Structure 1
Amino acid sequence: MKDFELLDISLYTEEPDRRVVPLRGPDTPDALGTPDIPAIPELPEGAVLSIGLTFRLGREIAGVAFEDSRIREGTVLATTRTVLGGFRTGGPYEVRLPPERLPVGRAYRGVYELTGRFTDGDGRELQVVHRRLRVVHQPAADKRWAAPPMAPGPAQPLSGTAGEPLAT
């Protein structure tokens, strides 16, 4: 058994569903020996999601950390490092990262290259995974960010059920 083995990467959304990000890639042959290229998951702009990581360990490791880098059109947008903690031999262990909101707007739509890197407390690399995802337009996302309707004020008199002004 390897010192560190990533079993699953899942994306959890506000809805009660879970999207599993496949671990197979062009460099990982399937049982028949042919490359298995996963489809690029599409996520709606403005969605709130968190990443779930499932792994097991072949030895006790102190200070496991997960560092993710997001690249769009060749530009590194953000790099986040999260210390997951120390873990005993065995598992599987499941860790959920804090939720984040995807950006909204035409400029943020498109394909993102994601690199996840696991390290131990001494900075030694345990495993690296590369994935892609696509942020797509969601018409409801525009309405979600719109300002709420204004409350009636002096310019808008309150009206009764028949549309007549209320008696004072």
Structure 2
Amino acid sequence: MADFELMDVTLVSDEFGRRTIPLDEEEDEAVALPAGAVIGTVLTFRTDEAIDGLKFDEERSRDGNVIATFTHVLGGFRAGGPYEIQLPAERLPVGPANCGTYEATGRFVDADGRELARETYRFQIVPQPPRDVPQAPS
């Protein structure tokens, strides 16, 4: 099996800039994200061997129930790195019913179905602060 190392997971958005997800930490504090924000996930990894058919599978759950699964086909990679891949951006849900804590688990899987790395983190969707609305001149 290839020696594979997930080096960094970063969430990026015009709303809040860059937030790095702590990897391999005992503390499991949820990362706060504003409802309705458009976010992208950046994955940084390296590999000691060539990998064919690399996929990144993601599962999101809330209160123990799986609410979404995604598969991102990343392709083949030569030995080396670090490689930095940005996944397609997505808009977080809005509304009070969607606010709360979620758990995301990502797995890197090769063409033979072998799991090369796994990372789980928690995020919390929080209401956006009200925006200043310009007042009409009186």
Same fold (TM over 0.5): yes
Give the alignment partner of residue 127 of structure 1, picking from 104, 117, 125: 117
Counting only pairs closer than 5 Å after superposition, residues 1-168 of structure 1 correspond to structure 2 as 3-15=3-15, 17-26=17-26, 37-140=27-130
Gaps of 5+ in 2: 133-137
Corresponding residue SS for 1:107: helix
**Contact 1:8-1:53 at 8 Å conserved across structures:** yes
Q: CA deviation at 1:25?
A: 2.4
Which structure's relative contact order is higher, taking Cα pairs within 8 Å and 6+ residues apart?
A: 2
**C-alpha distance in structure 1 between counterparts of 2:80 and 2:86, whole Å:** 18
**Contact 2:57-2:69 at 8 Å conserved across structures:** yes
**Contact 1:67-1:80 at 8 Å conserved across structures:** yes
Gaps of 5+ in 1: 27-36, 144-162, 164-168
**C-alpha distance in structure 1 between counterparts of 2:84 and 2:108, whole Å:** 14
Q: Deviations over 1:22-70 (max 9, x none)?
A: 10222xxxxxxxxxx1532100000000000000001000111001100
Structure showing the higher strand proportion among its residues: 2
Letter in 2 for 1:23: L
Corresponding residue SS for 2:25: coil
**Contact 1:24-1:38 at 8 Å conserved across structures:** no
**Matched residues, number:** 132
Letter in 1 for 2:92: L
Change (3 A) 1:95 1:47: same
Which structure: larger Rg?
A: 1
RMSD, aligned CA: 1.8
**C-alpha distance in structure 1 between counterparts of 2:28 and 2:84, whole Å:** 23
**Contact 1:43-1:134 at 8 Å conserved across structures:** yes
Q: CA deviation at 1:15?
A: 4.1
State the partner residue of 2:135: none
**C-alpha distance in structure 2 between counterparts of 1:38 and 1:79, whole Å:** 22
* TM-score between both structures, scaled by the size of structure 2: 0.89
Q: Deviations over 1:126-154 (max 9, x none)?
A: 1111110110011348x9xxxxxxxxxxx
Percent sequence identity is 50
Q: Deviations over 1:75-103 (max 9, x none)?
A: 10000000111000010000000000000
Corresponding residue SS for 1:139: coil
